[in-house]
């Protein structure tokens, strides 16, 4: 009998990914931040708008920030029309992205359950499912028995401290392999002639009046027709150099993985009240995310009690995880807005565009962000899908309050 | 797990505290006199520095008193704490 | 006898206690003190597992937690996935199987308990080898409170497996004296079997103690806050990378020495030793002394260390310098080593020789275990001489010592540990001196020269069997492919190849892969660096970290003084925050729907009673209390007269409703305010925040008294009659005791504060008594009500009754985006006050839109049932294609005994202007016609509140 080789069928990477470029003195567009959003934006600038004289500047290694640290959940079952529009556009792009990029992204539409543990969470869930369906987003409300069927290892007993009273279910939701997504975009950009500049930290901006005309970097000044910020948790630090205040607070967000395990968990489960979200990745490791740490931090590390609490929740909901082991924990820096929705659009500075405030939701939005942000930069005005996500909403009060949908409370 | 020096109770585990964000943001004297944009600044815009940050904490499981702390947000190093009243306050708008 | 490879004597095993176990279906025996790995090796079992990608046989490489190969699944006593055979203690009845890289979880519930302990100490010493013991002794003798933790079952660290002498006696005698002295000191806590897994801010460390299957708790998580931390965590030996370097029988030189000295096991009969480091010579000599034939010591360096070369010559061990093992033969077990001369400059290989062997020892140098130091933000730097990444710089309060600091000999480790212990004590202001160091074997300091990769002699497909990370089956060819693809960051290459992501988190592969990458890139290893060290140091079970916070203890359960009564009545409970609230009181065989209709009818026509003790209560006192309340409520409170009660609404500064309740003036400068049950803690924090940080000039004190008062609502047209029977000291008629006022009286001999407030619209009283009298007063009121058919009711009936009156519930009919005006409660927003929290926000552009969602009533068309709560409302009778514009949603929805029809509350765009219109509820795939109505359905004129 041939020995079992559970790692044998993982896809190989292509022979060429990208070459890290040296920066030129000037570009049509400079994108600050070589994470998923920056890469996707560059990609759609090139493909949808024909702009290829672009540099993506990354201070560390490409896609080494939150893109490398998230728990890879993809879904579009958000409550408000504005969010559903943007995330659903992203999900539709996800559904064609492996082909588009010709890269094995391990995109697996295994569905997501958002559990309800109180009568109010049931009301909220039914409300969101209704809104999703009317917005053309696939969604169902499952009662407790149906939840048990969708995820048999979940503890759906009424004896639970906060029993599972039902769940929303989005079948088209799922997971993908984050590195592969970043590398898929990077490889495509390499082929399109876009400069991916690693180890290049932006330290300030060059301005002419109210116009941003370039960036100062650790590798010298770079002139730019337009500058786009896609720096996630570090956006405030960059905007500060211009005196531009953004409604952002940067927090640690932690995650962890177990050892590799035989498949037991068929879907993605998220619980807001009993604070945990978990899926089982392709190699077999359980991937868990926790709540945000309450304090501001750029340290890429969180507090241990957050991890402890998360594991208590995991074992409470999934008793069979008791003897799984935590193999590795880590943290990213997420930039959170007052309404838990992103900011994407023009700024008071001509030629400067900002995409930030994705909090815990950035990965799933990656292609949608790229599509819309590229449109915003190319046309100097927002795409209809990101028009509601401008900075002016904080003045008018037209917030997009997604605290209930983010999967973690902020 | 930070060790936070409560000015009244002494150093305690972070889990005993509630975080309150930036310190020294005063409530505007006459909110009605502010423009919508100025009011939005008070409501939603806070400093978010990488480095030393003056911030508010409340000793929730202890004396339940608010105080200000200076902490480096890059390293979590705590540089000092003081009773809220003693801190210099600035009006943000 | 426990196996053909076990020596007749020696070792730390207990030959008096044989242990039976089962591995891969075979019944075997070992001894107490064995690990699974040592017991298997004693039996001659080398193949333990298979590789994850290629399925190649894999053996035991190491003797500790750095093991990348020998991964096993425990089957009995209880299934546990993926442990290293080198750390599994052999116990009677143990059953295990080798793994191909994926573990298996048991579907059965884990019967074990887990707990957590908090510990504070002056000095935490991590690791009880020579450095750690010396540090602990020095610190303890200074009077410091010391915790000494070590992952192993017994103290000694490297001395357990080295056979060394200290003070001319076996080193373990010194270890035992040190342990005994520490154990005698009352300020010292010894934690064997305890792995320190994480080093967090301000010297907060997490350790997990393995307490064994017989302890009350199987594992215990230690939360240790230490003033000073000595990291004496030792070092891990590195393997070497050459073709077919994964064959079972390939073992780290130091591990072989450990199997010999600690377990009295010979891992083979004829060995080839391949090294680039002096340290392996001791292993060769020790094994030789124990009867293993050493076919050759193959040293890739041009010259052998003279001290060791001489001893090898004495023992007749051939030493081949300038040579390398370039490959191996054998399938399930190594049968020989392919040896060739290696030109250190060109990498050219000479002709091959074949050395038959059943054991291939390898040593590529040592990696200090810098994991915790790095987690504590300690910087690391590549040290050319040591060929390893070492702690550099300094972290206040953290002291690396011994092998973890890059030291090599026992003498160095003892000294450095003592220095670290003294330093730690002096930082605490204690006087400490290092004890005299015991005399060690006169060995020179070992040196090494890294060789990251041996050239592959098989030209066809080079690097494909040169394993860099055995746990991930990642090879030199994989690294070459990653570099060829354009990657240059060690983080990218790790992700591309998955090196370092296996069970061992790259303990044996990390530095080696960095070295190979540096070679391929032509870069400095110092620049290439390593990947980040992340907690935990070794895998920790979920359950250990979950501790006791499971089931009932997952979150505190709060119950009221009358809880037992509700339980006796068979009421199901609703979780409201942490509270358990009775949901409804079914009679035998009665459905929820029937019970709620019955309870509602009783309140509307007779009398009902509800336990409302969970409502939050805050005592507000002080000369400026009235001014304060004016600032925090939207309505005016300062005009409230003593003895009177007013409903109040609170907003956040953004103008959105966040809580509501009543304000009762109980004294000249004293008020009792109530909050929602779930919102109490948040309201108190909100009030404290504004009081302490903004309006510091106000003389006000806030005290939570939620659990000081038990509160009973008595509601219904006959409630006055019930109260008359039970209560003395209050004239209950409307004139003397008007709506929205309170009086003190006596019920069941207990002083009670009785309020005339109503959440149902009926004549109602709310009775507050000290918590510990709650049950007695409840019983008295129930008895007084029995002649009137008094009916206890739960939260569901309360919800129906208040909805019939159009009273919103904050958090159900609001969602953080709703203003008082949206609720139609503009009447509760003062026009007279200069300012209050939220006032400025009401004039923001979005808050003055006329099409904001407003609270309205809904009546489904005749014949339709109850609309599900959460139902979306649309305008048109036929659904257009998505996205369909939505008008709002149903926030509350019930059957009504009083109205004779289902009804609902909803937030609907421009709802108040739509009253009378028909819109549609989207239920499943149907559109249900509903009429928009005023939100007040019942007793619009409010006539019933006075009875």
**If contacts are CB pairs under 8 Å, which of residues 649-708 in chain C contact chain B?**
653-654, 685, 688-689, 692-694, 696
Number of H helices, E strands in chain B: 1, 6
Judging contacts by C-beta atoms under 8 Å, the chain A residues touching residue B36 are 395-396
The percentage of chain C sitting over the pLDDT mark of 90, rounded to a whole number, equals 96
Among A136-140, A297-301, A377-381, which is the least confidently predicted range?
A: A297-301
Three state DSSP letters for chain A: CCCCCCCCCCCCCCCCCCCCCCCCCEEEEEEECCCHHHHHHHHHHHHHHCCCCEEEECCCCCCCCHHHCCCCEECCCCCCHHHHHHHHHHHHHHHHHHHHHCCCCCCECCCEEEEECCHHHHHHHHHHHHHHHHCCCCCEEECHHHHHHHCCCCCCCCCCCCCCCEEEEECCCEECCHHHHHHHHHHHHHHHCCEEECCCCEEEEEEECCEEEEEEECCCCEEEEEEEECCHHHHHHHHHCCCCCCCCEEEEEEEEEEEEECCCCCCEEEECCCCEEEEECCCCEEEEEEEECCCCCCCCCCCHHHHHHHHHHHHHHCHHHHHCEEEEEEEEEEEECCCCCCEEEECCCECEEEEECCCCCHHHHHHHHHHHHHHHHHHCCCCCCCHHHCCCHHHHCCCCCCCCCCCCCC
Stretch C622-628: mean pLDDT: 98
pLDDT digits (tens, 9 = 90+) for C65-113: 999 999 999 999 999 999 999 999 999 999 999 999 999 999 999 999 9
Decide if pLDDT at C339 tops 80: yes
* Ramachandran area for residue A313 (φ above 0: left; ψ -120 to 50: alpha; else beta): alpha
Spell out which chain B residues touch chain A, with contact meaning CB-CB distance below 8 angstroms. Answer: 1-2, 14-15, 18-19, 21, 36-37, 40-41, 43-46, 48-50, 53, 55, 71, 73-76
Q: Which residues of B touch A337 (CB under 8 A)?
A: 44
- How many Cβ atoms from other residues are within 10 Å of residue C379's Cβ? 11
Interface contact flag, B43 C841, Cβ < 8 Å: yes
Yes or no, beta carbons of C692 and B65 under 8 Å apart? yes
Would you state the pLDDT for residue B90?
43
**Looking at the domain covering C1-110, what would its CATH class be?**
alpha beta
pLDDT tens-digit readout, A361-375: 899 999 999 999 999
pLDDT higher than threshold 70 for residue B86: no
Residues in chain B: 93
Mean pLDDT calculated for residue range C292-321: 97
Task: Judge: B2–A303 Cβ closer than 8 Å, yes or no.
Answer: yes
| CA A218 from centroid of its chain's CA atoms | 27
Shortest alpha-carbon distance between residue A161 and chain C (Å): 6
Assess if CATH 3.40.50.2300 describes domain C564-848.
no
Question: CB of A294 within 8 Å of any CB in chain B?
Answer: yes
| Angstrom distance (rounded) from CA C466 to CA C481 | 14
Q: Cβ contacts (< 8 Å) between A133 and chain C: which residues?
A: 882, 922
Question: What 3-state DSSP class applies to C767?
Answer: strand
What are the pLDDT digits (tens) for A63-102? 999 999 999 999 999 999 999 999 999 999 999 999 999 9
Domain extents for chain C?
Answer: 1-110, 455-551, 564-848, 849-947
Across C254-282, average pLDDT: 98
Residue C597 has pLDDT above 50, yes or no: yes
Q: How far, in Å, CA of C890 to CA of C868, rounded?
A: 8
* Among the partner residues B1, B30, B42, nearest to C201 by beta-carbon distance: B1
Residues of chain C in contact with residue A328, where contact means CB-CB under 8 angstroms, are: 501, 505, 534-536
Give the number of B-C residue pairs with CB atoms closer than 8 Å: 55
H helix and E strand count, chain C: 20, 51
Q: Which residues of A230-265 are buried (b: 16+ CB within 10 A; e: fewer)?
A: bbbbbbbbbbbebebbbbbbbbbbbbbbbbbbeebb
Mean pLDDT of C376-392: 94
CB C372 within 8 A of CB C537: yes
pLDDT in tens, C123-141: 999 999 999 999 999 999 9
Which residue from B13, B30, B56 is facing C693, i.e. has the nearest CB? B56
Name the fold adopted by C849-947. Answer: Elongation Factor Tu (Ef-tu); domain 3 (2.40.30)
Does the distance separating the beta carbons of C870 and A130 come in below 8 Å? Answer: yes
- At residue C443, φ and ψ (nearest 5 deg) are -95, 140
**Tally of CB atoms within 10 A around A84:** 25
Residue B92: pLDDT band with limits 50, 70, 90: very low
pLDDT over 80 at C343, yes or no = yes
Query: Cβ separation of B48 and A303 shorter than 8 Å?
Result: no
**Mean of the per-residue pLDDT values for chain A?**
95
pLDDT of residue C849 exceeding 90: yes
**What torsion do the CA atoms of A348, A352, A358, A363 make, to the nearest 10 degrees?**
160
A291-312: average pLDDT: 93
Interface of A with B in 371-400 (CB under 8 A): 394-396
Q: How many CB atoms lie within 10 A of CB A288?
A: 26
Segment A165-187, tens digit of pLDDT: 999 999 999 999 999 999 999 99
Question: Residue B84: its pLDDT value, please?
Answer: 56
Kindly list the residues from chain B whose CB atom is less than 8 angstroms away from the CB atom of residue C845: 36
Which residue from A364, A336, A186, A337 is spatially nearest to A279, judged by alpha carbons? A364
Model-level pTM?
A: 0.96
Alpha-carbon distance B55 to nearest alpha carbon in chain C (angstroms): 12
C844 to B39: CB separation less than 8 angstroms, yes or no: yes
Alpha-carbon distance B1 to nearest alpha carbon in chain A (angstroms): 5
- Per residue in C783-814, pLDDT tens? 999 999 999 999 999 999 999 999 999 999 99
Residue C848 has pLDDT above 50, yes or no: yes
CA–CA min distance B85, chain A (Å)? 22
**Tokens 């309505």 sit at which residue?**
C635
Closest in A237, A295, A395 to B40, CB measured? A395
Give me the total of CB pairs closer than 8 Å, taking one residue from chain A and one from chain C.
Answer: 267
CB contact under 8 A, C846 and A397: yes
Residue with the bigger pLDDT between A150 and C442: it is A150
State the nearest Cα–Cα gap between A270 and chain C, in angstroms: 18
Residue A275's pLDDT is 83
- Inter-chain touch A130–C922, beta carbons under 8 Å: yes
CATH of region C455-551, choose from 1.10.3470, 1.10.10, 2.60.120, 1.10.150: 1.10.10
Distances in Å between the alpha carbon of C533 and those of A305, C68, C198, C503, C590?
Answer: 19, 17, 10, 14, 60
Identify all chain C residues contacting A311, using CB atoms and an 8 Å cutoff. Answer: 542, 545-546
Q: What integer pLDDT is reported at residue A404 of this predicted model?
A: 62
Over residues C488-546, the pLDDT tens digits come to 999 999 999 999 999 989 999 999 999 999 999 999 999 999 888 999 999 999 999 99
Cross-chain Cβ contact B31/C200 below 8 Å: no
Write the pLDDT tens digit of every residue in C872-899.
999 999 999 999 999 999 999 999 989 9
Identify the pLDDT of residue C460: 82
Helices marked H in C399-471? 410-427
Model confidence at C154, in pLDDT bands (50, 70, 90)?
very high
Q: How far apart are CA A204 and CA A215, in angstroms?
A: 6
Place of tokens 């820096």: A333
pLDDT digits (tens, 9 = 90+) for C906-924: 999 999 999 999 999 999 9
What would the pLDDT profile of C29-43 be if each residue is shown by its tens digit?
A: 999 999 999 999 999
Cα separation of C793 and C314, whole Å?
94
Q: How many CA atoms lie within 13 A of C673 on its CB side?
A: 31
Min Cα distance C680 → chain B (Å) is 14
- State pLDDT tens for residues C662-708: 999 999 999 999 999 999 999 999 999 999 999 999 999 999 999 99
Whole-Å CA distances, A206 to A213, A220, A243, C354, C421: 6, 12, 13, 67, 53
pLDDT band at A406 (very low <50, low <70, confident <90, very high): very low
Mean pLDDT of A332-340: 95
CA separation for the pair A57, B36 (Å, rounded): 36
Report CB contact under 8 Å: B44, A237. no
Closest residue in B to C704 (Cα–Cα): B64
Given this model, what pLDDT does residue C470 score? 97
pLDDT at A387: 97
Name chain A contacts of B44, Cβ cutoff 8 Å. Answer: 247, 337-338, 394
Across chain C, mean pLDDT equals 96
Q: For position C434, what pLDDT does the model report?
A: 85
How close A374 gets to chain C, by Cα (Å)?
24
Q: What is the pLDDT of residue C1?
A: 55
User: Tokens 């992952």 identify what position?
Assistant: C151
Q: What is the Cα gyration radius of chain B?
A: 14
Return the residue in C120, C197, C202 with the most chain B beta carbons within 10 A, the one to mutate for interface testing: C202
Q: Tell me which residues of chain C, numbers 370 to 389, contact chain A at a CB-CB cutoff of 8 Å.
A: none
pLDDT at A105 > cutoff 50: yes
Distances (CA, A) of C459 to C135, C345, C478, C517, C763: 52, 19, 16, 20, 96
The mean per-residue pLDDT over the stretch B24-31 comes to 95
The span from the CA of C934 to the CA of C943, in Å, is: 17
Chain B residues in contact with C844 by the CB 8 A cut-off are 36, 39
């Amino acid at each position: 009998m041939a020995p079992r080789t559970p790692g044998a069928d993982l896809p190989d990477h292509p022979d060429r990914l990208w070459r890290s470029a040296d920066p030129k003195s000037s570009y049509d567009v400079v994108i600050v931040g070589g994470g998923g959003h920056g890469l996707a934006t560059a990609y759609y600038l090139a493909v949808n708008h024909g702009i290829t004289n672009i540099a993506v500047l990354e201070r560390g290694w490409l896609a080494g920030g939150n893109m490398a640290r998230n728990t890879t959940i993809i879904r579009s079952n958000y409550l408000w029309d504005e969010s559903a529009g943007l995330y659903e556009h992203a999900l539709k792009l996800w559904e064609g992205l492996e082909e588009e990029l010709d890269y094995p992204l391990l995109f697996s539409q295994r569905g997501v359950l958002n559990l309800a543990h109180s009568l109010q969470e049931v009301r909220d869930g039914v409300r969101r499912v209704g809104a999703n369906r009317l917005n053309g987003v696939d969604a169902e409300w499952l009662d407790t028995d149906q939840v048990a069927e969708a995820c048999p290892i979940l503890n759906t007993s009424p004896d639970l401290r906060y029993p599972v009273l039902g769940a929303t279910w989005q079948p088209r939701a799922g997971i993908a392999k984050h590195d592969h997504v970043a590398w898929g975009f990077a490889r495509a950009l390499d082929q399109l002639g876009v400069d991916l500049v690693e180890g290049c930290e932006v330290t300030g901006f060059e301005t002419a009046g109210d116009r941003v005309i370039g960036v100062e970097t650790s590798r010298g000044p770079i002139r730019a027709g337009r500058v786009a910020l896609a720096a996630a948790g570090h956006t405030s630090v960059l905007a500060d150099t211009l005196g531009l205040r953004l409604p952002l607070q940067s927090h640690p967000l932690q995650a962890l993985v177990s050892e590799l395990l035989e498949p037991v968990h068929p879907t993605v489960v998220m619980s807001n009240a009993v604070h945990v979200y978990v899926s089982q990745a392709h190699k077999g490791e359980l991937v868990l995310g926790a709540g945000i740490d309450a304090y501001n931090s750029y340290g890429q590390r969180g507090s241990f009690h957050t991890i402890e609490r998360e594991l208590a929740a995991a074992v409470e909901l999934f008793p069979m995880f008791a003897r799984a082991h935590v193999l590795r924990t880590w943290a990213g820096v997420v930039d959170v807005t007052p309404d838990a929705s992103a900011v994407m659009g023009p700024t008071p500075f001509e030629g400067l565009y900002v995409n930030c405030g994705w909090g815990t939701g950035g990965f799933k939005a990656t292609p949608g962000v790229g599509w819309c942000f590229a449109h915003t930069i190319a046309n100097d005005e927002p795409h209809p899908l990101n028009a509601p996500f401008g900075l002016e909403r904080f003045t008018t009060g037209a917030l997009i309050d997604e605290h209930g949908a983010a999967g973690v409370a902020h | 797990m930070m060790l936070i020096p409560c000015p009244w109770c002494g150093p305690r585990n972070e889990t005993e505290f509630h975080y309150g964000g930036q310190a020294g943001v005063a409530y505007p004297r006459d909110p009605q006199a502010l423009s919508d944009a100025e009011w939005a600044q008070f409501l939603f815009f806070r400093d978010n520095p990488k480095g030393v940050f003056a911030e508010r904490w409340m000793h929730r499981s202890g004396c339940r008193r608010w105080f200000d702390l200076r902490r480096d947000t890059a390293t979590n190093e705590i540089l000092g704490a003081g009773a809220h009243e003693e801190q210099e306050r600035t009006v943000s708008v | 006898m426990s196996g053909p490879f076990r020596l007749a004597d020696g070792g730390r095993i207990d030959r008096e206690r044989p242990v039976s176990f089962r591995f891969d279906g075979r019944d075997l025996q070992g001894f107490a003190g064995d690990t699974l790995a040592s017991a298997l090796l004693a039996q001659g079992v080398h193949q333990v597992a298979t590789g994850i990608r290629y399925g190649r046989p894999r053996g035991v490489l190491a003797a500790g937690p750095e093991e990348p190969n020998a991964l096993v699944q425990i089957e009995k006593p209880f299934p546990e996935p993926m442990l290293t055979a080198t750390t599994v203690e052999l116990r009677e009845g143990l059953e295990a199987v080798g793994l191909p890289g994926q573990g298996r979880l048991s579907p059965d519930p884990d019967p074990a308990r887990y707990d957590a302990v908090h510990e504070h100490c002056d000095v935490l010493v991590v690791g009880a080898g020579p450095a750690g013991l010396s540090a602990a002794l020095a610190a303890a003798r200074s009077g410091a409170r010391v915790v000494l933790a070590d992952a192993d079952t017994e103290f000694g660290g490297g001395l357990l497996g080295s056979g060394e002498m200290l003070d001319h006696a076996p080193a373990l005698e010194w270890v035992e004296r040190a342990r005994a002295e520490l154990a005698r000191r009352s300020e010292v806590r010894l934690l064997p079997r305890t792995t320190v897994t994480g080093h967090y801010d301000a010297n907060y460390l997490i350790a997990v103690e393995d307490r064994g299957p017989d302890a009350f708790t199987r594992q215990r998580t230690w939360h240790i806050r230490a003033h000073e931390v000595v990291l004496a965590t030792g070092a891990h030996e590195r393997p070497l990378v050459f073709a077919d370097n994964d064959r079972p029988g390939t073992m780290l030189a130091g591990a072989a020495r450990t199997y010999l000295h600690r377990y009295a096991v010979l891992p083979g009969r004829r060995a080839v030793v391949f090294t680039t480091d002096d340290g392996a010579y001791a292993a060769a000599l020790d094994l030789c002394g124990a009867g293993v034939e050493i076919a050759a010591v193959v040293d890739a360096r041009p010259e052998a260390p003279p001290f060791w070369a001489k001893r090898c010559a004495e023992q007749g061990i051939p030493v081949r310098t300038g040579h390398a093992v370039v490959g191996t033969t054998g399938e399930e077990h190594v049968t020989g080593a392919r040896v060739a001369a290696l030109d250190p400059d060109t990498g050219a290989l000479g002709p091959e020789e074949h050395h038959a062997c059943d054991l291939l020892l390898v040593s590529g140098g040592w990696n200090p275990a810098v994991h915790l130091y790095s987690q504590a933000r300690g910087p690391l730097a590549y040290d050319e001489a040591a060929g390893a990444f070492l702690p550099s710089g300094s972290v206040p309060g953290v002291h690396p010592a011994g092998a973890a600091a890059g030291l090599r000999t026992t003498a160095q480790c003892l000294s450095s540990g003592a220095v670290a212990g003294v330093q730690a004590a002096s930082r605490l202001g204690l006087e400490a001196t290092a004890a005299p160091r015991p005399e060690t074997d006169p060995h020179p300091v070992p040196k090494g020269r890294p060789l990251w990769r041996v050239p592959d002699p098989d030209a066809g497909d080079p690097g494909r069997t040169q394993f860099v990370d055995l746990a991930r089956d990642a090879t030199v060819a994989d690294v070459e492919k990653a570099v060829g693809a354009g990657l240059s960051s060690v983080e990218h290459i790790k992700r591309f190849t998955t090196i370092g992501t296996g069970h061992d988190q790259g303990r044996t592969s990390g530095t080696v892969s960095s070295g190979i990458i540096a070679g391929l890139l032509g870069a400095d290893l110092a620049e290439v660096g390593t990947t980040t060290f992340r907690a935990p140091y070794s895998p920790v079970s979920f359950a250990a970290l979950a501790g006791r916070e499971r089931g009932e203890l997952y979150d505190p359960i709060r119950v009221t003084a009358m809880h037992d009564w509700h339980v006796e009545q068979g009421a199901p409970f609703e979780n409201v925050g942490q509270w358990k609230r009775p949901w409804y009181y079914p009679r035998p065989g009665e459905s929820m729907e029937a019970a709620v209709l019955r309870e509602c009818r009783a309140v509307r026509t007779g009398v009902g009673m509800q336990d409302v003790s969970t409502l939050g209560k805050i005592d507000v006192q002080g000369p400026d209390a009235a001014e304060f309340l004016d600032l925090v409520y939207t309505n005016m409170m300062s005009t409230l007269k003593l003895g009177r009660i007013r409903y109040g609404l609170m907003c956040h500064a953004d103008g959105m409703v966040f809580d509501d309740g009543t304000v009762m003036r109980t004294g000249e400068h004293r008020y009792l305010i109530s909050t929602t049950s779930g919102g109490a803690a948040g309201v108190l924090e909100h009030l404290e925040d504004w009081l302490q940080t903004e309006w510091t000039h106000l003389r006000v004190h806030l005290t939570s008294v939620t659990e000081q008062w038990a509160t009973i609502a008595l509601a219904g047209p006959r409630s006055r009659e019930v109260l008359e029977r039970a209560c003395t000291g209050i004239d209950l008629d409307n004139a003397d005791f008007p709506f929205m006022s309170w009086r003190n009286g006596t019920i069941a001999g207990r002083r009670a504060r009785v309020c005339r407030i109503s959440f149902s619209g009926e004549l109602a009283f709310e009775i507050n008594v000290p918590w510990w009298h709650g049950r007695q007063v409840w019983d008295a009121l129930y008895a007084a009500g029995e002649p009137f058919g008094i009916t206890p009711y739960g939260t569901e009936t309360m919800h129906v009754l208040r909805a019939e009156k159009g009273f919103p519930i904050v958090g159900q009919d609001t969602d953080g985006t709703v203003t008082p005006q949206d609720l139609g409660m503009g009447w509760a927003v003062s026009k007279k006050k200069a300012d209050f929290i939220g006032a400025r926000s009401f004039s923001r552009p979005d808050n003055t839109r006329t099409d904001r969602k407003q609270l309205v009533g809904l009546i489904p068309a005749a014949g339709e049932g109850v609309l599900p709560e959460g139902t979306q409302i649309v305008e048109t009778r036929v659904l257009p294609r998505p996205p369909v514009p939505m008008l709002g949603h149903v926030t509350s929805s019930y059957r009504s005994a009083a109205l004779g029809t289902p009804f609902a509350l909803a937030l609907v765009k421009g709802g108040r202007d739509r009253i009378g219109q028909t819109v549609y509820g989207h239920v499943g795939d149907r559109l249900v016609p509903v009429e928009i109505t005023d939100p007040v359905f019942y007793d619009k004129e409010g006539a019933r509140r006075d009875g």
